[in-house]
Amino acid sequence: MKKATLTILCLLMILSTAFCLTGCKSREQRLSEETAYEDAQMNAMNKKIVKCINEKDKEGLKKLFSKSAKRDIEDIDIKAEELIHVFKGNKIQSTNSDAHVTSGSPESQPLNITANCIFKLDNGKQYVGWISFCTMDDKNKENVGLMVIEICNCSSKELPENHMWNGINSGKPGIFIHYID
């Protein structure tokens, strides 16, 4: 009787250990897949924004914003025009997302991505900014799309120590531009 109990306990321990190890592996795989998805979404959004700015496509830029954000942004036409002109006719050659924060997941929606971006211009300058967008919300499709573009006309190294990012920190949708002399 004692041998049978010990054998069953050993088998249960082996099975539970195997189950835990495979569970960790699948969790790591899932996180890797989610990170790859987020990176792909961020790169796609960056490309769309850059294309609109480089082509001075104000209407295209406005279309990137979610329906709910467009309703909440005052003077979106003026703000989109101002964003295009902040680059003073210089083309954005590339963008780099240094860090991003994600809230939600494909299973726990909405899935929002916020990233710090570096815009490298053809004149050698760099502008720093933030982009925030919702990539997935099955319960409210009007939330899907761009929420915030916030940009400063200088590099991250040139930002004043006390610089505040108004749009990202407020949680309000919009186009926010900071001019640093």
What tokens appear for 136 in the block? Answer: 């997935």
- Write out pLDDT tens, residues 115-158: 899 999 999 999 999 999 999 888 999 999 999 999 999 888 89
Q: How many CB atoms neighbour CB 134 within 10 A?
A: 23
Q: What is the mean pLDDT of the chain?
A: 85
Say what the pTM is.
Answer: 0.79
Contacts of 11 (CB under 8 A, 6+ apart): none
90 vs 1: which has the higher pLDDT: 90
Tell me the CATH number for domain 2-178: 3.10.450.50
CA 25, 43, 115, 173 torsion-angle sign: negative
- Write out pLDDT tens, residues 64-100: 999 999 999 989 999 999 999 999 889 999 887 766 7
Return the domain boundaries, the chain.
Answer: 2-178
Q: What is the DSSP string of 59-84?
A: HHHHHHB-HHHHHH-TTHHHHHHHHH
